[in-house]
Amino acid sequence: MYYGESGGVNEAFSDIMGEAAEDYLLQSDFVTGNTIMKFLPYMREFERPENDNISISKVEDMLEHTDPHFSSGIYRRVWWVVVKDGSMSIRDAAAVFLYANRMYWHSTASFYDCSCGTLKAALDLGHDIAPFRMAFKDVGLEDCDVNSHVFGFNNNDTRFGLPVSASVNPVFKMETPVWADKLIVDVSSSSEKREVENDYGAEILITIMMGGWESTHDKCTNAVVVAQGLNHLELENVADQEYFFKLSVSNDTVILPEVYNFTRMSIESGVSKVDLTIGYTCQKNFATEDWETNFFYSRDCGTEFDYY
């Protein structure tokens, strides 16, 4: 809706997509309307929106009747921080904002609503959310907790065709039951990719963490890495825990047999498509005094259950 905070995001999104298009064709200059204004050097800018003496770049300066053209300065500043201070490519940042607009922003979304949707979009696309957190903090937006948005695996689930690259590092989680014994994570080249390109091996670094997946300056909430390995990883004594899993490309390379000779566009772009399976084995002879726990152990692990 073209008023209030949703109107500001509306205008900012237009400017952001304009800069993304400009960067695709030429190079982004991070100002809107450069070289086409009759009396001004440009219409609006991203780094310091307030330089036009009317736009705002802090949430605290938002008033009830601020014109959307000028309240758009908040998300224009967000864009600047994500790309410049957060060192995120314009292409990746644009993909996140576009996905957020399609999937999470709604017609009357506030600045805060849109920040939460943007973080969710970044997670969905496998991008680091740190640049976005930095940007939202810069403009004065309250931090949004998206921990519960991380996709959770059930035992021996497989997700197919996941993209992994230098900038795309998908994150997942699993909560293990009290009867879990060993955690097993396996990554292989996507079956679809093998059929199309004869790709039989991708070096994917698996990182298993506890306490979250983000690296922050707060030592109390920092993720703790408990294991790392290439393509296949096993972890002992995993009962009753919450684990996070991050995939990244090792050296940004894909290993292929030298005998094959075919177009390697996906390799040149540094993107690997992989299948990911996460599961756990069950403790043998597990039993508790809780009837319900024993029942679910039996069902999960395929053991006999004594109803009496």
What sign for the dihedral angle of Cα 31, 33, 37, 39? negative
The residues assigned a catalytic role are 69
Structure tokens, 110: 């506030």
